[in-house]
Structure 1
Amino acid sequence: MSPLEQLAESLKHAKVLGILYVMQEEAGGRRCVPADASFRGRPGLVILGLAVLSLKGWRSGKSSLPFILAQAAVAAAVAWKHCQAYTTTKKLLPWGFYTALSALMICFYSYVLLAGGNPPPKKKPAAAI
């Protein structure tokens, strides 16, 4: 497997990106209040829960497609709200940054879906005795 193929495979399994995104969302959500103050649903915790469930399902060999779709939907909602806050306040930091980061996560989830989702982990062959 070439290094480029290895990178593509590791990106499809990169639950770490979702966890880092959650950390940013939760830290930012506690520091900043959106312009209309109606976005208090803790989407970061929802994405974290979905990422954990996705990882557990993936490890057990089940499809993580529903969890990836749900994470993409939450990221899209977050991007929409941050975009609204940015257009209202015209502040690049934090709203423009959060909008761009959420859009990048949507692109990442789209890549995972277009690449065929997260295939189940390969079973190691049993050692012959």
Structure 2
Amino acid sequence: MENLCDGDGCQIMIFGASLKVFSYTGDFFNEYLLYNSFSLKVAEIGDTGGSEDWETDEKGRQLAYRMFKLLIGLPNIKCLRLFAYAVKDLSYAVELLLNIPIFKNLTYLEFGLVDLDCAALLKILQKILPVLRP
């Protein structure tokens, strides 16, 4: 794991060639990037809600991009759990919603308590449901 810090948080690079499970719960004050995570099958991502206090839209956008970059690192995921704030975070940057990754091997998708009117939730479901395998 490599850690590159700057004034806006740290960039934490996780090289997971044999990583099977990834779980993150916390605020996205740092950027987490998964590399070589093709063996990763289960991921659980939760934001504790500290993002509710972002004082600017730019900070909210930064949070959305950090969440998006984490999702990009899950190409072969089979089981994905996203909790309320993690889904809501993506709504800060609507342009990202058009590029939500398609998880072609996904067999299980779970959301925590989410706002059913959330634009990010609707876009995730539009992209994922057609490829969700029984």
Q: TM-score, normalised by structure 2?
A: 0.27
The structure richer in strand per residue is: 2
The structure richer in helix per residue is: 1
